[in-house]
Amino acid sequence: MNISRLLLRFFFVISPFFTPNVEAFTGTYGVNYGRIADNIPSPDKVATLLRDAKIKNVRIFDADHSVLQAFSGTGLNLVIGLPNGNIKDMSSNPEDALTWVKENVQAFLPDTQIRGIAVGNEVLGGSDQSLWGSLLGAVKNLYNATKQLQLDDVIQISTAHSQAVFNTSYPPSSCTFTENVLQYMTPLLEFFSQTGSPFCLNAYPFLAYTYNPTEIDLNYALFQPNKGIYDQKVHLHYDNILDAQIDAAYAALEVAGFKNMEVIVTETGWASKGDLSEPAATVHNATTYNYNLRKRLALKKGTPRRPKNVLKVYVFALFNENLKPGPTSERNFGLFNANGSISYNIGFPLSAASSILYLKDIQVGGYSLGSTAWALLLLVFLNS
């Protein structure tokens, strides 16, 4: 055991007033770093980009060692992911779970600040129902592995859910879990209530509007001025969809008996480009949503139903991912372009010099512009 962790655990033992509380999230803003692409910057450059953009909380969807190594010494809080394809094995083999934690977590601590393990993504309510019954077992085995390695006070275990786990979310106070999900959700929530893990929600006003453009005001989806909705059952007013989606989750948790569980948004975002069936996927709307979301989070306030629970959000996603399957929008959620330049300006405190670090040499008029030339050009542009 290294000295820093030994001293930390010693402090836990000798201080009767200190109760370990695993916090995988610092502040209010984070980002999902997806890598289904063949043209994005290397992990070490991404780590620099994140630090320059003042983004401290990061989620990845696997435990790629090149990323874990690149994030060493950066001070970034990292949540790694166990892919859905590994859930059954982790559920049925505690020794494999222990080995996985040793190789993908313990081996990189404390230099890489791994703070959590996300077990699968959108498993419950998903199309592969064979995974539903294995999720809790995987969660427990991974948690027990962290406990055996004395990392349970450092690593938070969680799993993210889509809107598919709910019967309805309108009005928010009427939300409940679907019957077929509830039998799996209840024991999972019981375990998370014991470990102090939050309910992780993937919430997309973009999708809500795309599926119901005639019933939803676009301004309501984009945090723009609008009349909003009034939930008569609880006498609460909502001026944006995201708050309503989060409070719908709180309502479902209350009905299920978990009133005190915190809800964290593990994915939300807006596509900047889409198919003809996705007319709201524009640069203007993506800019508006993400800029207003940052302003909303900067207020450090909760939702109408939970005003004292400061909202925490991971935005999807860091980059446009050119190899993602599905509609065009799936490949255009990035805050940054593949070359590391900003997709649209939402106020990141990113210096010109650091932005230019990620630009590849580009042939212009027969000449290759390196990073210095690009920096000069960008400075001229910013000061024009």
331 CB-near residues (< 8 Å, 6+ apart) = 273, 320, 321, 322, 323, 324
**Residue 264 near residue 201, CB atoms below 8 Å:** yes
Give which of 204, 183, 197 is closest to 139, Cα–Cα. Answer: 197
Determine the number of helices (DSSP H) and then strands (DSSP E) in the chain. Answer: 13, 12
Distance of CA 148 to the CA centre of its chain: 27
DSSP state of 309: S
Cα–Cα distance for residue pair 382/286, rounded to 1 Å: 22
DSSP state of 167: S
Evaluated on CA atoms 138, 141, 146, 149, the torsion sign reads: negative
State the first-to-last Cα distance of the chain, in angstroms, to the nearest integer: 55
262 CB-near residues (< 8 Å, 6+ apart) = 198, 199, 309
In the block, which residue shows the tokens 């509830």?
182
Beta bridge partners of 118: 81, 158
Set 267, 278, 321, 330: catalytic member = 267
Cα–Cα distance for residue pair 59/118, rounded to 1 Å: 9
Upper half-sphere CA count for residue 144 (Cβ side, 13 Å): 15
Give which of 263, 203, 222, 208 is closest to 346, Cα–Cα. Answer: 222
Beta bridge partners of 82: 119
Residue 190 falls in the annotated catalytic set? no
Residue 215 falls in the annotated catalytic set? no
Residue at 199: amino acid letter: F
Set 95, 103, 122, 215: catalytic member = 122
**Residue 100 near residue 75, CB atoms below 8 Å:** no
Q: Which residues are catalytic?
A: 122, 267
